[in-house]
């Protein structure tokens, strides 16, 4: 079943796709079963940037919708490298972002060469220039990335301190500001439950947003989520997260005046005299985390950093990378391996012992 937020993403996708060449829409029809709505929309934006660049550089005279397959077949390696340089130096994209956009283009061109067929069973493209383009070699090692991440996530007793800060301490901090104080009193159970759930499960932002009431299994401490690639999975969460969720659910229906037809787990208060409560958006969750993070004294915290915080804690206590990979929903174990480089106390201890004088 497609959630309300996914339906909105598909609507946006369908609007943008109409601006792109016909074969891109065909590509998306092929990928709908394999990629989430969010991933498809990101691909769509990447393709639009690429085709707009082609027209802006006057490599093709016409609208982006009219760019034919024959033009793609005639693209040179130098022209594609020029686009990648524009992404880096003109559009100020980081190397990892350039790699992601290149990956999207490689996927499209691979479809056109190796999957799509004409009526006489010939591939759409005989020549695939993207197959000749290499990804940027990322300069940072896992250790470097992990070290940078370490100062921006919650470690040790900071997990519980941040949770308690949202549940009570923030209210003390803003009690002289009536507007902020009342807003916090309205939402403190909900906000505590959201943060507690992410810190107790490692769920992605989109997964938290899309949760419905029926997705929570209170007997098994698990949540049903749709992961990347539209894969259904039950993800476990902590007892503290369960306790905070139940406290929130006690007040959810009455305080937010939730219509019985609204099955969203996390909701926002109605706006205006005739407004209805609605599913909390991804941006709203990002903003509430930013608000608490700044007040807590750790402004670098974000929803994604809370996910990193969970993963770091899980690895330090469980030390089982395959299980952590499943919990986080990573497609590649290499992505999960980064957490093995954070707070490596054994390595630090070994290095420290090198300074101890030998008898």
Say whether 184 is catalytic: no
Catalytic one among 228, 263, 291, 323?
Answer: 228
Catalytic one among 31, 152, 255, 304?
Answer: 304
Q: Which residue has the tokens 């609208």?
A: 63
Distance of alpha carbon 322 from alpha carbon 107, whole angstroms: 27
Catalytic one among 163, 190, 307, 341?
Answer: 307
Catalytic one among 279, 308, 330, 341?
Answer: 330
Q: Which ranges constitute the DSSP H helices of the chain?
A: 4-17, 22-31, 37-56, 69-74, 77-85, 95-114, 142-150, 158-164, 170-173, 178-199, 205-209, 239-255, 282-296, 303-318, 321-328, 333-336, 345-353
Q: How far is CA 280 from CA 125, 243, 266, 270, in A?
A: 44, 20, 6, 11
Catalytic one among 170, 339, 341, 343?
Answer: 339
Say whether 256 is catalytic: no
Distance of alpha carbon 287 from alpha carbon 27, whole angstroms: 34
Say whether 304 is catalytic: yes
Say whether 330 is catalytic: yes
Catalytic one among 204, 305, 308, 315?
Answer: 204
Query: Sign of dihedral through CA atoms 85, 88, 94, 97?
Result: negative
Say whether 278 is catalytic: no
Say whether 204 is catalytic: yes
- Beta carbons within 8 Å of 242's beta carbon, 6+ residues apart: 218, 221
Active site (catalytic) residues? 204, 228, 304, 307, 330, 339
């Amino acid at each position: 079943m497609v959630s309300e937020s996914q339906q909105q993403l598909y609507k946006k996708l369908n609007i943008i796709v109409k601006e792109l060449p016909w074969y891109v829409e065909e590509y998306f029809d092929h990928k709908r079963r394999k990629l989430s709505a969010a991933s498809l929309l990101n691909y769509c934006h990447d393709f639009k940037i690429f085709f707009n660049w082609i027209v802006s550089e006057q490599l093709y005279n016409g609208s982006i919708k009219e760019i034919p397959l024959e033009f793609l077949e005639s693209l040179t390696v130098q022209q594609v490298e020029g686009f990648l340089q524009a992404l880096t130096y003109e559009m100020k994209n980081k190397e990892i972002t350039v790699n992601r956009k290149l990956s999207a283009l490689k996927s499209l061109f691979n479809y056109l060469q190796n999957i799509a067929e004409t009526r006489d069973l010939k591939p759409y493209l005989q020549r695939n220039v993207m197959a000749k383009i290499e990804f940027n070699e990322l300069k940072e090692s896992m250790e470097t990335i992990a070290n940078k991440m370490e100062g921006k996530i919650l470690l040790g007793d900071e997990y519980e301190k941040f949770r308690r800060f949202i549940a009570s301490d923030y209210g003390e901090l803003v009690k002289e500001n009536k507007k902020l104080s009342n807003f916090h009193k309205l939402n403190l159970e909900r906000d505590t439950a959201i943060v507690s759930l992410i810190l107790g499960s490692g769920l992605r932002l989109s997964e938290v947003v899309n949760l419905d009431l029926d997705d929570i299994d209170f007997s098994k401490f698990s949540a049903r989520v749709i992961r990347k690639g539209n894969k259904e999975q039950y993800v476990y969460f902590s007892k503290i997260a369960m306790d905070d969720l139940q406290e929130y659910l006690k007040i959810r229906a009455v305080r937010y005046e939730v219509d019985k037809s609204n099955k969203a787990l996390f909701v926002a208060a109605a706006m205006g005299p005739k407004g209805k409560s609605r599913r909390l958006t991804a941006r709203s969750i990002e903003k509430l985390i930013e608000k608490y993070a700044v007040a807590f004294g750790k402004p670098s915290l974000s929803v994604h950093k809370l996910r990193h915080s969970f993963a770091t804690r899980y690895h330090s206590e469980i030390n089982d990378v395959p299980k952590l990979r499943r919990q986080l929903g990573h497609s590649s174990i290499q992505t999960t391996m980064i957490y093995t480089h954070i707070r490596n106390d054994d390595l630090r201890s070994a290095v420290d012992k090198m300074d101890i004088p030998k008898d």
